[in-house]
Structures are given as structure tokens and as C-alpha cells.
Homo-oligomer: A and B are copies of this chain.
Amino acid sequence: MDNDISIYLDKNSSKPLYIQLYEGLRKSIEISKLVENEKLPSIRNMADTLGVNNITVVNAYKLLESKGFAYSKKGSGTYVKKVAEETNFEYLEDESMDLMTSGILTLSENSINFASVSPTPDLFPVEEFKQVLIEILERDKGKAFVYPEINGYGPLRSSISKFLEENYSIIIDPEEIQITSGGQQGIDIIAKTLIEPGDYVFLENPTYSGAVAAFQSRGAKIIGIPILEDGINIETLKKNIKQYPPKFLYTMPNYQSPTSYSYSNEKKKELIKLANENNFFIIEDDFLSDLTYDGENRFPLKAIDEFDKVIYIKSFSKILMPGLRIGILTAPRKLFKSIIKAKHTTDISSSGFIQRAFDLYLRKGFWKEHICNIKKDYKEKYELMIREANSLKKYGISFKKPGGGLSLWLKLPKELNAYDLYNECMKKDILIVPGKIFFINEENKDTNWIRLSFASLDKNQIKKGFYIINKCIESIKYNKEDRTRYVPLI
């Protein structure tokens, strides 16, 4: 890198250092101070030159790569790519966060990842799966690899129908089940089936950005309805229904992402009533109902869906294994023809081999013991998280006990900016998620939150993580004191 490139990093800025560095390098590439195939400085050199942590440089380089501005040669280093197309900046932080939660932006070996909501491999039922996979190959031979029906392997749809009844008292005819390649594909297929450009689509605010992206890509007009501790804000919802009649409302009624809030039973019933009276669908994304730790019965909306208004999406990525890419959606019969057509244009069908294996896994009842195990394991981590999070209250940080799920949603006092904390933690090898990225058009909204997930952490990491987060808050507090006076709220 020739020396007339000056990259200035503002350590007091609320913008993460690695993103500042990414932007600086990107600019140098665009104005051709860095040229195609030029080698970037080594991680260490760059870190030393700029006086930042190696991690900051690693992440900046990974971000450059993921954006197509750089490529890496194994054992050799990172090189410049020239890219014509413009980058969409609004989306940048959101995307970089996607990369983190899906584990692509990695930190060092001993980093602590409070961002990921993916379970750790040690919890996967690998042995049981190996058993069923081999059994399928011996039982079905080549047949295991033919195209299954578009809506899914028949026997699997039957055993899923049983699974839904036993676990969530959801009564569904196998003919009303569509097998999908994970929950996200369920969202994509619904978008293809229901959304006409210009349709209004309601989502909780904050919500899951993968759903927003899928709906926007079909030309939907996105409207965010605030979510409260006991579920969506019904009054605001009613106002918006009158003003912008929605095609559907996308909701996560139990342990909502990112807030981990759950709907009260009253609000669940109210929602079904509203959908029926105002004739819109409810897309229920259920990826965590199974993980309840406080004994409360938090049932899916689909279980009380007397008017057949709920399209129920179930992902098995969080409670089983992400790498399977198996999920389902159930929908009213009258939609099914269009859903099968949408699935066919999407990927013909999901892997018949995996479907056969999953069917056998369910029939052998392996899932019962597995869900017991992960619930026990997560419950212990959850209780530890609550204890540790209480230690943050002295800084004016508050949160609601979700009673289940894989994350805590913490409100920061205005003196403590979520991005400052995120940035400070990043320096110490701790990954947390600033709440802002989950909000729909976040202007003039109170977005000073952080999400801390424990899905992929062990107990020692949780303890150590909170110890460091405490330290980070302290150091921000003292840095700030010369500028603004810091007043703890307790």
C-alpha cells in the first residue's frame, strides 16, 4: 500500500472501528489509490500502523471480501478487487451483522460470541442422525436420491403432522404441510405466494431483518408495529389496519427476535380475532417455542387458529441442526396450489435424502430425548445469563426476563451508546449486537438496546464475557467523564 493513503480512525465515533477501516480502504480502492490485485498489508502491519487490535483489521478485510472489494489467497494474504457497482450503505452494518450472527465474521480463537443464535455443534444429535442416514441408505438405496414430491416426502409430512400435534396441539392434515429448506425459505415462498408489488406488510418493530429483506424484494410496503413486553401494540396495529389494509402480519409470538418478548394469551386471541375481522393472514414464525424455562405454557397462534388465518412456519435449525436446512410451513388449502408452484420455481423440492432421514429420526422418537437435553442445557445457561445481566443494572441497564429463548434484550441508559459499547467490546474480543440493526426505519426511534445471545456459549464464556462487558462499560464511562458528566441511574 503506497504511503499517501491516510486512513483516519475515530476511536470516539459510535461507528465500529472495523467498519471505519473498511470504508477507508474501500474509498482508496474506488479512487484507485489501491489497484486491482494489489496486496493489502498483513493483518499485523496494518494493526500496528493504525494502533488497533488485529481483530479490527481481520473484520475489515473479511468485510471487504464479502463485499467483493478484496479476495484472499490461502497463506499469502488479501488482495484488492476492483468493483464497478455501488455499495448500498444503509444496509452495511445490518449486513456485517448478518455475517457475524451466521458466524462468517469470525473473531479470534478465544473470542466470546454473544451475537450468534446458532446452537453449538456439541448439542447436535449427530450419532442418532448417523444411524438414520445409514439406515435410509440401506433401506432405500438409490431411491433415497430421487426427486420427492414438490410439497415434500409423503411419510415425512405425516410424521411432522404427528409431531405438531404431540408438541404444540396443532392439528394439521399432512396435505396442508409444505416441506421447506429451512425457515427462511418458508418466508421466501410465502412472499412469492402472497405479495403483489405495493401490498402492505406488517411486521413487529424491531424484527428479523431476513424477513424484511424477503418481503421488500417482492415490492411490499413495510410497516413496523411496535412490540411491547406482552406482545405487539394492539392499538397502533388497529390504527394501521384501518389506514393501510395489510396483506399479512409477520409475527414471532413466542420469544420474538430480537426482543425475546412473548405475547400474552389475551393478545394472541385478539390477534386471531383481528385477522379474521379484517381479513388478513398472520405469518407465524415459530423457531423457539420449544425452549421454555419457566413452566409457562406459551402456545403457538396456530394452536388456536379457529378461522384458518395463520400460516405457520416452523424452523428446525435452532432446536435441531442448522446444517439440515429442514423446515415446514402449513397453510390454508386454498393457498396450496400457489404454494406448491412457488416451491417448484424456487428449487423444485428439498433434498429427498435429508427428508427421508428426518422422517426416520422423528418416527424413532429420537427428538423427545434431544429436546429434553437441549432444554436442560439452555435453561442452566439462561439462569446464569439472568444472574450476570443483573450485575449490569447498576449502570442503568434494564431488561425483562423472557422465561425462554436464547437471548436477552437489554435497554441502555441514554448516556451509554449501544455502538460505543459494541465497539469497546469488539476491541476486547467480545461480540454483542447493537439493537439498532433490528429496527425498521429506525429514525426518531428509541434504539439504544443490545441483544446478548447465549446459544453458542458455555458457562465460563458467559461469566468471562459479562466480566469484560462490565469493564468495557466502566472504561466508556470514564472516557466520557471529561466530556459529559456521567450519571448512573441508580
Contact = CB atoms under 8 A, between A and B. Distances in A.
Contact of A85 (B150, B185, B335): B335
A137 interface: yes
A387 interface: no
Given A104-B149, A344-B98, A83 B334 contact: yes
Contacts of A87: 337
A458 interface: no
Contacts of A374: none
A246 interface: no
Contacts of A141: 121, 126
B347 A188 contact: yes
A95 interface: yes
A51 interface: no
Given A146-B118, A352-B323, A346 B192 contact: no
A344 B121 contact: no
A144 interface: yes
Given A344-B210, A346-B185, A334 B84 contact: yes
Contacts of A197: 197, 219
A324 interface: yes
Interface residues of A, number: 77
B350 A146 contact: no
A142 B122 contact: yes
Q: How many copies does the complex hold?
A: 2
Contacts of A340: 66
A147 B325 CA distance: 9
A336 to B, nearest CB: 5
Contacts of A68: 333-334, 336-337
Given A150-B104, A213-B341, A219-B197, A144 B182 contact: no
A184 interface: yes
A147 to B, nearest CB: 5
A344 B120 CA distance: 21
Contacts of A146: 103, 118, 121, 321-323
Interface string A202-221: 00000000100110010100
Interface string A441-465: 0000000000000000000000000
Given A210-B345, A324-B351, A325-B348, 8 more contacts: A68-B333, A85-B335, A102-B349, A104-B150, A124-B145, A184-B345, A210-B348, A323-B353
